């Protein structure tokens, strides 16, 4: 397309960040993050298919500090995208567009995503503690 001197709407950084716009872009960011996050998931499955040795290496990697640093945002991204995705599905059937509802459901999504992430971690550590 030709570049013309047509008037532009104010750039993104002019607008005051709001919960609605922040959650919207976070949906995209977590979506792309999850795409990248499929790589460790596929690696884990491939390592299992590879045999006992490669699986032990994979388990050691995910149990390491670097593995945990990757896994924590991975789990959060999944739960956030899942919860906000449900919010999107409600919009698709025409529900929840009132401004007040948007803010309420937005807050619920954030709290649920953090809560589920924390819960998953507590459960995972309890399992590991119980197993070892």
Partner 1 sequence: MSLRTPLAQARGLGAAREGMHHWWTQRLTALALIPLSLWLVASIITITGADYATAVDWVRSPLVAVLLLLFIAAAFYHAQLGMQVVLEDYVHAEWAKVATIILSKFLMIALAFVAAFAVLRVALGG
Q: Could you tell me the two tokens for 90?
A: 């409600």
CA-angle at 15, arms to 98 and 81, nearest 5°: 55
Minimal distance, residue 9 CB to partner 1, in Å? 15
Closest CA to 114 of 44, 26, 20: 26
Question: By rule CB under 8 A, what string of x and - marks binding of each residue 49-88 to partner 1?
Answer: x-xx--xx--x---x-----------x--x---x--xx-x
Site for partner 1 in 20-39 (CB under 8 A): 28, 31-32, 34-35, 38-39
Computed from CA positions of residues 91, 89, 123, 73, in that sequence, does the dihedral angle turn out positive or negative? negative
C-beta of residue 74 within 8 angstroms of C-beta of residue 32 = no
Residues forming the site for partner 1 (CB under 8 A): 1, 28, 31-32, 34-35, 38-39, 41-42, 45-46, 48-49, 51-52, 55-56, 59, 63, 75, 78, 82, 85-86, 88-89, 92, 120, 123-124, 127-128, 131-132
């Amino acid at each position: 397309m030709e570049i013309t001197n047509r008037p532009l709407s104010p750039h993104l950084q002019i607008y005051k960040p709001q919960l609605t716009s922040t959650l919207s872009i976070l949906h995209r960011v977590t979506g792309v993050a999850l795409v990248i996050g499929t790589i460790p998931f596929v690696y884990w499955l491939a390592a299992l298919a590879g045999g006992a040795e490669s699986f032990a290496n994979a388990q050691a990697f995910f149990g390491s500090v670097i593995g945990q640093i990757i896994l924590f945002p991975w789990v959060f991204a999944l739960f956030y995208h899942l919860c906000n995705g449900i919010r999107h599905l409600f919009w698709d059937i025409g529900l929840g567009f009132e401004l007040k509802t948007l803010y309420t459901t937005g807050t619920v999504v954030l709290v649920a995503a953090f809560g589920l992430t924390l819960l998953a971690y507590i459960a995972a550590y309890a399992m590991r503690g119980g197993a070892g």
